[in-house]
Copies of this chain bind each other. A is one copy, B any other.
């Protein structure tokens, strides 16, 4: 689904179509780099110099609530956003914060978790932590 299609669909829910929102969503849909709010801000600013970080966060939260994007948050780094909330998991570098996708059929554990805990389970998150090839190479160089 394109950014315009998603935003038109959101109109029924009282969400207005604005060029800033279009730019934010188009950027998110067109990249697989899992950008931070700050990175989205800088990118959108190129097209809309007056845009503010507040608007970025407003839009991201709105899109997140409607299930069109995913927020990936870690303890000491800022959140990253993923415009493709579909069948994949994440591998995060604990040194530079980069996140890459790992495609794999989604785990079918949710029903089992629900029956064991009494929760109404409506999602899960699976992430792997490690050191990316670039950071590993940099670390080796530092040692010499």
Residues of A within 8 A of B (CB): 71, 73-75, 79, 91, 93-94, 100, 102, 104, 107, 109-110, 113-114, 116-133, 136
- How far is B114's CA from A79's CA once the two chains are assembled, in angstroms? 23
Among B73, B100, B110, B123, the residue within 8 A (CB) of A73 is B73
B126 touches A114 (CB 8 A): no
Copies in the complex: 2
Nearest CB on B from A89, distance (A): 8
B136 touches A128 (CB 8 A): no
B residues in contact with A121, CB < 8 Å: 91, 128-130
B residues in contact with A75, CB < 8 Å: 71, 73, 79
Nearest neighbor of A79 in chain B, beta-carbon distance: B75
Among B119, B120, B131, the residue within 8 A (CB) of A120 is B131
